[in-house]
Chain A
Amino acid sequence: MGKSFLIDTTRCMACRGCQVACKQWHGLPAEKTENSGSYQNPADLSFDTYKLVRMKEETVDSRLRWLFFPEQCRHCLEPPCRDEAGDPSAIFSDDRTGAVIYTIQTRNLDADAIREACPYNIPRAAKDGTLAKCDMCIDRVENGLLPACVETCPTGAMNFGERDEILALAKKRLTEARKKFPKAVLIDPDDVRVIYLTAFDPALYYENAMADAGRFDMSRKMALRRMARPVSRGLSRMLRL
């Protein structure tokens, strides 16, 4: 069963406590940023930024909305990145929590291919090719603590727990949210461990909020094919060089 998150964007006010808590717990350096005409910063996820509150101003049904999307790895149930890698010493799913974990060995993978495999465009590479992303604060979770981003959230936008409890909470929150927002949805709840609840069409929040239709099925097939011929991956990297 493992663990899951519910990220209820109807309760998110973009204080970005989660974004800072993530950096603090992981000891990640600050990036040198600039204001590009938006509060959102850094501009994108990176090797040093696993969590990013994306912000968009949208007029929905003739009313201005400021949409916040606290983005992180979705910890897919069947992660295409893992299947693409085909190397459990680099990318594996943790048995107990279901966390998708990247190790230092990711530096030997084809970073572009891994990134390409992700339905949500999450992993980011360092200069040496090592990949990084949210690790579910597995060290905290293993020790009975909540992930840092969940611990810091004041409003109940970030939730974490056993998958069945989170699924039940997601359903309950969806029912509540629909009273105010009839178009509210849960994003890909059957495929991922990080389930978003949005008040409006997820595409309004961020282009990669939702996986492309059929992406999981396709990547599963692809993964099977690739796992059957692990050598060709090395070969293709060589050819690219």
Chain B
Amino acid sequence: MTNHWIDIKNSDCILIMGSNAAENHPISFKYVTEAMQRGATLISVDPRFTRTSSKADIYAPLRSGTDIAFLGGMIKYILDNDLYFRQYVAWYTNAPFLVKDSYAFRDGLFSGYDPKTRKYDKSQWGFQLDDRGNPKMDRSLKDPRCVFQLLKKHFSRYTTRVVSQVTGTPESDLIEIYKTYAATGAKGKAGTIMYAMGWTQHTVGVQNIRAMSIIQLLLGNMGVAGGGVNALRGESNVQGSTDHCLLWHIWPGYLKTPRASNTDLAAYNKKWTPVSHDPMSANWWQNYPKYAVSLLKSFFGDKATAENEFGYQWLPKVDDGKTYSWMDIFDQMYRGTIKGFFAWGQNPACSGANAVKTRMALEKLDWLVNVNIFDNETGSFWRAPGVDPAKIKTEVFMLPAAVSVEKEGSITNSGRWMQWRYQGPAPMGDSRPDGDIIMELGARLKALYEKGGTFPEPIVNLKWDYLTAGKYDPHKVAREINGYFLRDVTVKGKTFKKGTLVPSFAFLQADGSTSSGNWLYCNSYTEKGNMAARRSPKDAVNKIGLYPEFAWCWPVNRRIIYNRASVDLKGQPWDQEQWVIKFVGEHKDGKWTTKKWIGDVPDGGWYPMENPDGSKRSDSRYPFIMRKYGHGQIYGPGRADGPFPEHYEPLECPVSKNLLSAQLTNPTAVTYDTDEDTYNTCDPKYPIVGTTYRVSEHWQTGVMSRNQPWLLELQPQVFVEMSEELASLKGIKNGQRVRVSSSRGALEATAVVTPRLRPLKIEGTTVHLVGLPWHFGWTMPKSGAEKSANLLTPSAGDPNTRIPETKAFMVNVSRL
């Protein structure tokens, strides 16, 4: 979230789309309800009328997988009716930037597409640069090559009539929603978006979010209270795991995993450190080498020296152009190239797309270690219904893990708040905290490698000193993540003693004198103590629910990021009542003379861009400090599938043509080509759109909730929701068990026949949609009859993130 949970209460209009917050993030409704009491409008857009929709002022259905068409229509509506926040757009976004002549968009394809590699040459999408290397701009937004004009042209095709034909949303609903949401473009008004996997899990997942980001920038909703782009994370600590980069392509703090072509540390730093020649651009990533070296020092301690590139060569490099994401791992496992696997706190046999393929992949392993609080479908895949254990070679180990309340440590919530938790009861039986399991695993590996082995340095040299009295010590790890001064140093006129904690990332160094396990968390555990453990109920001066002394939030306790966009050029808030920050420096003769911001921690404490007399200041910075050019990106030339979002059909779809272009599906979508990877569009065997989701009563693959009798009582069986019309067509009665199938797999489910789903008119024909929760699996309930909905879903993915498209695919439903 750019904002945070409590801040939802400050919104004037809440759009819940691509998420079902009432069911999957019920606590968020405390703040949604509070906003509504203050007069906010709640809009719910979902293929299904959900518990969220039940509370909404406006509900509209749409066909799963057509969100860009829906949002593209809103962009057009905002532009056509001049509802955008002009000053904000002209000064804080890249709308005025001029784009190179090589950028073009023709009938569904951007320029630079290579059909052989299915990739774009993104260099064709760059900006026109002046002789200093800065983008040329037209702040009047009139130049035909400026982003603003290109945006207008791009979305001119997205008329409400066409959008309605694509999405199935009635035109009158579209207009009502566009009008209501676009009203937040007025100065002092804020609209927010609450989204989750309903937007991300598509072959156009990233562009779904991009489309909404464009809307938020056009309406001036970024950086303000009650605004922002808010991803509701799927688990309590998913934000933490992302920040610490438990993903293949990034290192802690969103640093890049080195590519093979980054042959040494200098080349690595050069490749990933952006350079801006604009003195007004903070270009914060210019500090990249400081964060990278501090991380290496944290990994390898004294063994990391300037002479050995701080151990850079001990870290694995990924091959250029290759990907190693979740679906790639299981594809490789299926092909037999991966021999061993740790399933740690997860259940791939149920959670991953195309569970049939995943389970076959597990059979190819030599060994599998399942670390979990219960046995699950992954650990027991070898004795699943229909599997002959005698034919499985994989050796499976179960390591019982302690549950969250049995451990001390931190979690980071969606709002980027790092919150410390104390230990409740001691772990049961032989179960152990994950930290202890990892520490012992590392120690055993080190002992083995000390006796020899291929390339032992990375393991042998790893700093591994997080035990206290033989036990994993979360405080030692938290301090390591914050970082230390490793020798007496003087930075910015302040002297710090060796061994003291670094007060914030502004003091990290690239010369090996500091360590930090994650630069973004530098400031979380300082000489003042464990900031995440703070529990003061005191609000900040602006009284908008920032609670700056409750827990800690990255970066540097800034509760609303991009907050310098919440003020005008003179540093005064657009919204006088619910302001985030405010410049209160002294001025003389129309010029600011002292620097002082109040409210939230500002995105950099520079002077505002203008003096009180309207003259420009050269010692200021643009507000979007993490962007190379300092501006919010309406135009995003770094994405794999285009600088603007474009509607493409899901890889499996019910239509043979895309009404918006000649290009049916995302030309850069990720697909796989084993026998288990099938994709079916307009196949009469699978005529119904399928989608998956979660319910309040269960959690992820249900390992924690299916084993909890009170929760199983509430939702005992996998079900498939369908409209009354479809049920009558298929002769299905409410509550009956039916078969749901795709070309990949099938399962039994209980039919929930409901007016909450209705057939949609798509391009003049009737399209039916069904949905299933993916919480179930054969191990529990004991009947073994409740199976995973991921048996149906395809291994198709987004080209930027490689997230699977589990929210829109094709199925059939039949009576048993």
Residues of A near any B CB (own CB < 8 A): 11, 13-17, 19-20, 23-24, 29-39, 41-42, 57, 59, 64-68, 154-156, 176, 180
Nearest 8 Cβ contacts at the A-B interface: A37-B735, A30-B709, A37-B734, A66-B54, A30-B713, A15-B26, A13-B22, A35-B717
Given that A59-B755, A154-B27 are contacting pairs, would A37 and B714 also be in contact in the complex, using a CB cutoff of 8 Å?
A: no
CB neighbors of A among B707-738 (8 A): 709-717, 719, 733-736
Report Cα–Cα, A17/B733, bound state, in Å: 30
B366 CB within 8 Å of chain A: no
B751 CB within 8 Å of chain A: yes
Apart from the given pairs A13-B23, A33-B712, 6 other A-B contacts in the complex at a CB distance below 8 Å: A15-B29, A20-B714, A23-B710, A38-B752, A66-B51, A66-B53
Report Cα–Cα, A237/B37, bound state, in Å: 53
Question: Please, which residues of chain B bring their CB within 8 A of the CB of A23?
Answer: 710
B355 CB within 8 Å of chain A: no
Q: Of the candidates A13, A19, A64, A68, which one forms a contact with B26 in the assembled complex, judged by CB atoms under 8 Å apart?
A: A13
Report Cα–Cα, A30/B26, bound state, in Å: 22
Question: Please, which residues of chain B bring their CB within 8 A of the CB of A17?
Answer: 26
Report Cα–Cα, A68/B646, bound state, in Å: 39
B242 CB within 8 Å of chain A: no
B52 CB within 8 Å of chain A: yes
B55 CB within 8 Å of chain A: yes
Interface centre among B49, B709, B714, B751 (most CB of A within 10 A): B714
Q: Are B30 and A154 in contact (CB under 8 A)?
A: yes
Report Cα–Cα, A67/B696, bound state, in Å: 16
Question: Please, which residues of chain A bring their CB within 8 A of the CB of B734?
Answer: 36-38
Question: Please, which residues of chain B bring their CB within 8 A of the CB of A180?
Answer: 57
B33 CB within 8 Å of chain A: yes
CB neighbors of A among B681-698 (8 A): 695-697
Query: How many residues of B are counted as interface, with CB atoms below 8 angstroms from the partner's CB atoms?
Result: 40
Report Cα–Cα, A131/B37, bound state, in Å: 40
Q: Are B713 and A42 in contact (CB under 8 A)?
A: yes
Q: Are A19 and B714 in contact (CB under 8 A)?
A: yes
Q: Are A154 and B29 in contact (CB under 8 A)?
A: yes
CB neighbors of A among B660-713 (8 A): 695-697, 709-713
Q: Are A41 and B714 in contact (CB under 8 A)?
A: yes
Question: Please, which residues of chain A bring their CB within 8 A of the CB of B372?
Answer: none
Q: Mark B748-766, 1 if CB is under 8 A from A, else 0.
A: 0011111110000000000
Q: Of the candidates B55, B709, B713, which one forms a contact with A13 in the assembled complex, judged by CB atoms under 8 Å apart?
A: B55
Q: Which A residue sits closest to B735, measured CB to CB?
A: A37
Q: Of the candidates A15, A20, A64, A155, which one forms a contact with B33 in the assembled complex, judged by CB atoms under 8 Å apart?
A: A155
Nearest Cβ in chain B — how far from A114, in angstroms?
Answer: 26
Given that A37-B735, A154-B26 are contacting pairs, would A20 and B51 also be in contact in the complex, using a CB cutoff of 8 Å?
A: no
Interface centre among A23, A29, A36, A155 (most CB of B within 10 A): A155
Q: Mark B2-44, 1 if CB is under 8 A from A, else 0.
A: 0000000000000000000011001101100100010000000
Interface centre among B713, B751, B754 (most CB of A within 10 A): B713
Q: Which B residue sits closest to A68, measured CB to CB?
A: B54
Residues of B near any A CB (own CB < 8 A): 22-23, 26-27, 29-30, 33, 37, 49, 51-55, 57, 59, 695-697, 709-717, 719, 733-736, 750-756
Question: Please, which residues of chain B bring their CB within 8 A of the CB of A15?
Answer: 22-23, 26, 29, 51, 696
Nearest Cβ in chain B — how far from A55, in angstroms?
Answer: 9
Report Cα–Cα, A115/B419, bound state, in Å: 49
Nearest Cβ in chain A — how far from B681, in angstroms?
Answer: 31
Question: Please, which residues of chain A bring their CB within 8 A of the CB of B733?
Answer: 37
Report Cα–Cα, A31/B716, bound state, in Å: 10
Report Cα–Cα, A50/B339, bound state, in Å: 52
Report Cα–Cα, A176/B26, bound state, in Å: 22
Nearest Cβ in chain B — how far from A64, in angstroms?
Answer: 6
Interface centre among B710, B733, B734, B736 (most CB of A within 10 A): B710
Q: Are A29 and B750 in contact (CB under 8 A)?
A: no
Question: Please, which residues of chain B bring their CB within 8 A of the CB of A13?
Answer: 22-23, 26, 29, 51-52, 54-55
Report Cα–Cα, A34/B719, bound state, in Å: 11
Question: Please, which residues of chain B bring their CB within 8 A of the CB of A155?
Answer: 29-30, 33
Question: Please, which residues of chain B bring their CB within 8 A of the CB of A154?
Answer: 26-27, 29-30
Q: Which B residue sits closest to A156, measured CB to CB?
A: B33
Q: Are A57 and B756 in contact (CB under 8 A)?
A: yes
Q: Are A36 and B26 in contact (CB under 8 A)?
A: no
Question: Please, which residues of chain A bring their CB within 8 A of the CB of B719?
Answer: 35
Nearest Cβ in chain A — how far from B248, in angstroms?
Answer: 35
Report Cα–Cα, A64/B756, bound state, in Å: 8
Question: Please, which residues of chain A bring their CB within 8 A of the CB of B751?
Answer: 37
Question: Please, which residues of chain A bring their CB within 8 A of the CB of B51?
Answer: 13-15, 66
Q: Of the candidates A20, A37, A38, A156, which one forms a contact with B710 in the assembled complex, judged by CB atoms under 8 Å apart?
A: A20
Question: Please, which residues of chain A bring their CB within 8 A of the CB of B59?
Answer: 64
Q: Of the candidates A30, A57, A66, A156, which one forms a contact with B712 in the assembled complex, judged by CB atoms under 8 Å apart?
A: A30
Report Cα–Cα, A103/B550, bound state, in Å: 45
Q: Which A residue sits closest to B709, measured CB to CB?
A: A30
Q: Which A residue sits closest to B716, measured CB to CB?
A: A33
Q: Which A residue sits closest to B695, measured CB to CB?
A: A39
Report Cα–Cα, A37/B54, bound state, in Å: 18
Q: Are B26 and A41 in contact (CB under 8 A)?
A: no
Nearest Cβ in chain A — how far from B533, in angstroms?
Answer: 24
Report Cα–Cα, A31/B736, bound state, in Å: 21
Q: Are A16 and B697 in contact (CB under 8 A)?
A: yes
Question: Please, which residues of chain A bring their CB within 8 A of the CB of B26?
Answer: 13, 15, 17, 154
Question: Please, which residues of chain A bring their CB within 8 A of the CB of B752?
Answer: 35, 37-39
11 contacts between A and B (CB under 8 A): A13-B22, A14-B51, A15-B51, A24-B710, A35-B716, A37-B736, A37-B753, A38-B734, A39-B752, A66-B54, A155-B30
Q: Are A176 and B37 in contact (CB under 8 A)?
A: yes
Nearest Cβ in chain A — how far from B722, in angstroms?
Answer: 11
Q: Are A34 and B697 in contact (CB under 8 A)?
A: no
Question: Please, which residues of chain A bring their CB within 8 A of the CB of B23?
Answer: 13, 15
Report Cα–Cα, A13/B32, bound state, in Å: 12
Report Cα–Cα, A24/B713, bound state, in Å: 13
Question: Please, which residues of chain B bring their CB within 8 A of the CB of A30?
Answer: 709-710, 712-713
Report Cα–Cα, A116/B675, bound state, in Å: 64
Q: Are B33 and A11 in contact (CB under 8 A)?
A: yes
Q: Are A37 and B750 in contact (CB under 8 A)?
A: yes
Report Cα–Cα, A32/B714, bound state, in Å: 10
Question: Please, which residues of chain B bring their CB within 8 A of the CB of A42?
Answer: 713
Nearest Cβ in chain A — how far from B740, in angstroms?
Answer: 14
